Structure 1
Amino acid sequence: MRCRFACFRPFVRFSRDERGAATIEAVLWLPFFLTILALLADVSLIFHGQSRILSVVQSANRNMAVGRLTTESETEAFVLTRLQTLSSNAQADTVLSSSGLIMTTASVPLTDLDIFGIVGAFANTRLTVRAEHLQE
């Protein structure tokens, strides 16, 4: 009888030991925290991309307003050239109204702006930025 209980002694000691309890909880929560971190990184990169697109569109409108760019197609080409580093699927449209208002719209797919693909649920969504400027 004594041998039988002696064989179970290490298992009983192991079942009462609580040194690894925090490790189990950390392993269970780690994927959740990593997903949140990746989501925050993707959203931050999308907002940064929006800021860069707005800067390019405003610069194009300013160049057309002062006469460096003379036609709408030149302005669209200016925007698309500057956005090539951000996205190869960028689109641009410039309209010069009769009142002298320059309106440029640029759009980029959201999937071109994220790294981890967390926003993949929005695969067909485009980020659109529009700026207006008066011609001088």
Structure 2
Amino acid sequence: MTCNRKPILSFLRREHGAATVETVIWLPFFIAAFGFMVDLAMIFNGQAKVLRVLQDVNREYSVGNIASTADTEKQVLAELSKMEIWPSAASTTQVAGNIRSTVVIPTRQLTITHFFGAFASLEVDVTADMTVEYFEG
């Protein structure tokens, strides 16, 4: 029985699969980086949506379409619940002709992958200010 070593040695010296091995090694890092970017983008997107809601509701209060700060808070919570965002805190105050609404949202509600534990413990504070435009008299 003769053993021809030439094909075996030729196979071992080939470098055609080197790129595949490197890809398999780096792929988890690229997937993790992509997931991180997606979660971060979703947090910023959620923050922008909440800010828009706060600005719209503050505007309604500022022109007199909403009667009180308590009604403003209720309206903010109602609008956010339509987007399935449940804030851990919401407040509206009026001081010296300025309306300020603040909402605190856990980031775990805004992320998609929930892969990064650091995002689970963070909260996003969103605040909108508006000047009162109506005067009772």
SS of corresponding position for 1:114: coil
Alignment match, 1:35: 32
Structure 2 letter corresponding to 1:106: V
Matched, 1:101 2:98: yes
Structure 1 letter corresponding to 2:43: I
Give 1:90 shift: 4.6
SS of corresponding position for 2:2: helix
Out of 45, 70, 78, the residue aligned to residue 81 of structure 1 is: 78
Out of 100, 114, 129, the residue aligned to residue 111 of structure 2 is: 114
Alignment match, 1:59: 56
Matched, 1:22 2:26: no
Structure 1 letter corresponding to 2:19: A
What TM-score do you get using the length of structure 2 for normalisation?
Answer: 0.88
Identity %: 36
Alignment match, 2:2: 3
Give 1:13 shift: 2.1
Aligned length: 132
Segments of 5+ residues of structure 1 without an aligned counterpart are: none
Between the aligned partners of 1:108 and 1:100, the Cα distance in structure 2 is: 26
Residues 109, 127 of structure 1: 8 Å contact kept: yes
Structure 1 runs, 4 residues or longer, greater than 2 Å off: 8-11, 88-91
Segments of 5+ residues of structure 2 without an aligned counterpart are: none
Structure 1 letter corresponding to 2:25: L
